[in-house]
Amino acid sequence: MISMDKKYKTRSGLKVRLLCIDRKGDECPVIGLVDKDGCESVYSWHSTGVFYTGHESAYDLIEVPPVCLEPWKWYKQGNHMYCTVPSDVPNWVEIYSYSSRIFTNYRINLSKLTYLSDVLPGAVEISQPKEMT
């Protein structure tokens, strides 16, 4: 079953923003917006997240698993590198950003489940960069 408290993408990887999961009077009660190249279009799905009954579709909903930002993890986003480090405040992590010899930092509250795409859109986890060892 699809849930409003989870994040989803299409099987083909497009971002989905759910609007409701309880539409009345239709066999497809899940309504959402699919982002394709910065333009959102309205789609509907069955309560299980399938777009078509009976066969797989590129528009089937796939849950995006939550990523907890743990201390001492490295991420890359374009030309930026990020490192999450422990904070002196419980349930928080500091994120240090490095790009073109400029360091910045900010704190993220981990008391709620955090999706990496919300904090660092497009970032991927990497091993520690050699220039940082």
- In a shared domain, residues 77 and 117: yes
User: How many angstroms separate the CA atoms of 54 and 76, rounded?
Assistant: 39
1 within domain boundaries: no
48 within domain boundaries: yes
- Percent of the chain at pLDDT exceeding 70: 79
pLDDT bin (cut points 50, 70, 90) of residue 117 is low
- In a shared domain, residues 60 and 77: no
2 within domain boundaries: no
Give the 3-state secondary structure of 5-72: CCEEEECCCCEEEEEECCCCCCCCCEEEEEEECCEEEEEEECCCCCCCCCCCCCCCEEEECCCCCCCC
- In a shared domain, residues 56 and 81: no
- In a shared domain, residues 88 and 121: yes
Residue 69 confidence (pLDDT): 64
pLDDT bin (cut points 50, 70, 90) of residue 122 is confident
For 98-111, the pLDDT digits (tens) are 776 677 777 777 66
- Percent of the chain at pLDDT exceeding 90: 42
Higher pLDDT, 59 or 123: 59
Structural domain for 15, as ranges: 7-64
- In a shared domain, residues 85 and 52: no
Residue 33 confidence (pLDDT): 97
Residue 116 confidence (pLDDT): 66
| Number of domains within the chain | 2
For 54-76, the pLDDT digits (tens) are 899 999 999 987 766 666 778 88
